[in-house]
A and B are shown apart, each in its own frame.
Chain A
Amino acid sequence: MALLSKLPNRIAGGSRICNLARCSRSQNKTNINRTFANNANSTPLLHTPLYDLHLAHGASMHPFAGFSMPITYETQSIIESNKWVRSQAGLFDVSHMVQHIFTGKDVTTFLERITPTDVRELAPYSGVYSMFLNNNGGIVDDIIITKHTDDKYYIVTNAACRAGDLAFLEEQKKLHGRSDIGHEILEEWGLLALQGPRAAEALQGLTDFDLTQLKFGNVGLVPVKGSKYWVSRSGYTGEDGFEISVPKEETLGFTERLLGESNSVVKLAGLGVRDALRLEAGLCLYGQDLDEITTPIQASLSWVVGKRRRLEGGFNGYEVIAEELKNGTSRRRVGFLSDGPPAREGSKIYEKAGVKLIGVVTSGLPSPTVGRNIAMGYVEKSFMKRGTEVLFDIRSRKRPGTVAKIPFVPPNYYR
């Protein structure tokens, strides 16, 4: 679990929503001419509070979810940055993500209606990976719910899902008579993800707050130079780390302090390496690995459904999910390892004789940490066993791969 910062494998613009069941693209392909056409026709890109800092650090900026976001920085390649985050500390600007505050006496009940999480029993000042569900049990968005108190929650959702989420929340509030729930979005706030085995050391240098008190999933109000920021011990890389919510005006100053001297253990890391890190950690990207016709059970995320919730139900899509928990699903998300050319989003998966189509890859790339190609995708139930040999269709040629354990890189959380 972690705060979900998401980025496209396809860095270019356009809709990333791929219907997993019907995805027919054989390759993960875009064309910059089309991308530019899209940009020309759409509204100007938004900037995070760190836009100028990214440019000053030689970032390659690309459109993502309506924002101009850093994909790489000129000082490190993606492979170098990957190794840096897994051994030192990387700082990601994830301010494009949507930070919500929900308040009111009925909030807990409302969140238990729209998510499968045991929100009631969630400890104060702790957060958990969850998802908004529709009535069919499909995933509207994957989110992090953080409870401050029983009547105040902080939730982070995906930037690319913003409009859909807001419409969904409005509709659900009306549907369930919860119109009095307070809902505020922290517009233009900064959200920073400091990730890596030396993240704690770097952040500890800026505060008197004893960070060893914060275990994975905990949040605390951490004083930093006259201000106090909500810091959660989480992230989306599989490493120890923090996500820090900072008011717009203070984001640049705080970031510069974190980056410190040029020989600091903290280096800026872009969304390009973030995609590799999250996939290595087996974490899903909404729009690629998850979508509205996929249930948490199909996505191999059944752990998200709380024990009490499985028995009591009372959330959107419960009937579908309970049935799937009992009888299984026709398709499941699994991991793959391969060598040679990597299977990427959209590659079709065949059984090893190469005739029968059994699924599709939803994310894939050459893993800098593993040193092999890693991928996730959905396959028919009978092919989900670890070690099953499959074939990927890559540029119209069939190439071998094997169903493998997720995550590909063991997590390094601070528990």
Chain B
Amino acid sequence: MSYQKNILMASTRLAAVRSRLPVAARSAKFVPLLSNRFYSKPTPKTIAPLFTVRRTAPSTSLFNVLGRRSYINSNDEETPEGLRYTEEHEWLALEDGNLAVIGITGYASKALGDVVYVELPSVGASIVAGEPIGAVESVKSASDIYSPVSGEIIEVNEQLDKKPGLVNAEPYRRGWICKILIKDTTELESMMDNNRYQTFIASS
């Protein structure tokens, strides 16, 4: 009886997930996630309408994989400033006027584990805040990605088809999900800033 056994090889797709990209690769094409002047003065009277919608959705979220351990600062990648966050662990960055880039947070990507498949929305699709626009699959779970805002999908990160692991390696940069032309920028007001998001994940 031999106790040796060859490691059965996984596919390239899965193997790719495990690789951690070199630091140099972090210079993504939209790297400067602009700090967002828009958010500095949230309107107090706004009451988050999109979360009302979301709570009625009978769906999973990135939430369902989070345990009692804290994953704060667990990701190697530095969290950019000026992002806005949802309770479903999506981030949003305003790239230009009402063009937003969205992705999932480092906290969520760490909790998901190795991402092996990302379902991307279709370019040109009209989307509604709080509705699922795609999904992130790891070995243990499937989690929907919800759009933080209403609008139109302008571009998707096609790199994720071949390299879903970018969501783990660089959740805020090369692991972005899609770009959305925002219909109504007041929807942004209900999103959390980094401080509130950190408090939120610490308490959940």
How distant is the Cα of A341 from the Cα of B11 in the complex, in angstroms? 15
The answer to whether B60 and A60 touch across the interface, beta carbons within 8 angstroms, is no
Binding-face segment, A77-85, A107-115, A376-384: A77-85
Q: Which of B99-154 contact A (CB under 8 A)?
A: 111, 113-114, 116-117, 119, 132, 135, 137-142, 144
Per DSSP, chain B at the interface is loop
Provided the pairs A212-B1, A412-B5 are in contact, do residues A31 and B59 lie with their beta carbons within 8 angstroms? yes
CB distance from B107 to the nearest CB of A (A): 12
Binding-face segment, A173-181, A309-317, A366-374: A366-374
Provided the pairs A11-B64, A272-B113, A368-B139 are in contact, do residues A83 and B69 lie with their beta carbons within 8 angstroms? no
The answer to whether A366 and B111 touch across the interface, beta carbons within 8 angstroms, is no
Provided the pairs A78-B113, A272-B113 are in contact, do residues A341 and B18 lie with their beta carbons within 8 angstroms? no
Binding-face segment, A127-135, A137-145, A193-201: A193-201
Binding-face segment, A22-30, A289-297, A300-308, A349-357: A22-30
How distant is the Cα of A233 from the Cα of B2 in the complex, in angstroms? 16
CB distance from A99 to the nearest CB of B (A): 26
CB distance from A219 to the nearest CB of B (A): 18
CB distance from A90 to the nearest CB of B (A): 13
A395 at the interface (CB under 8 A from B): yes
B58 at the interface (CB under 8 A from A): yes
Q: Which residues of B contact A344 (CB under 8 A)?
A: 142
Q: Which residues of A contact B58 (CB under 8 A)?
A: 29, 31
A155 at the interface (CB under 8 A from B): no
The answer to whether B67 and A79 touch across the interface, beta carbons within 8 angstroms, is no
How distant is the Cα of A72 from the Cα of B116 in the complex, in angstroms? 17
Q: Which residues of A contact B13 (CB under 8 A)?
A: 371
Q: Which residues of A contact B60 (CB under 8 A)?
A: 27-31
Provided the pairs A61-B69, A71-B67, A365-B140 are in contact, do residues A197 and B3 lie with their beta carbons within 8 angstroms? yes
Question: Chain B residue with minimal CB distance to A33?
Answer: B63
How distant is the Cα of A198 from the Cα of B3 in the complex, in angstroms? 6
The answer to whether B140 and A78 touch across the interface, beta carbons within 8 angstroms, is yes
How distant is the Cα of A148 from the Cα of B29 in the complex, in angstroms? 66
CB distance from B142 to the nearest CB of A (A): 6
Q: Which of B5, B119, B142 has the most CB of A within 10 A?
A: B142
B interface residues (Cβ-Cβ under 8 A, vs A): 1-14, 17-18, 55, 58-61, 63-69, 74, 111, 113-114, 116-117, 119, 132, 135, 137-142, 144, 204
12 contacts between A and B (CB under 8 A): A11-B141, A31-B60, A32-B61, A58-B69, A61-B67, A71-B67, A82-B139, A83-B10, A341-B137, A368-B139, A395-B135, A409-B8
Q: With A9-B141, A31-B63 given, name 18 new contacts (CB 8 A).
A: A35-B64, A60-B67, A62-B68, A71-B140, A77-B18, A78-B113, A80-B18, A87-B6, A197-B4, A272-B139, A340-B117, A341-B137, A365-B139, A366-B116, A371-B10, A371-B11, A371-B12, A412-B5
Which 5 pairs of residues, A with B, have the shortest CB-CB distance?
A371-B11, A32-B63, A60-B67, A29-B60, A197-B5
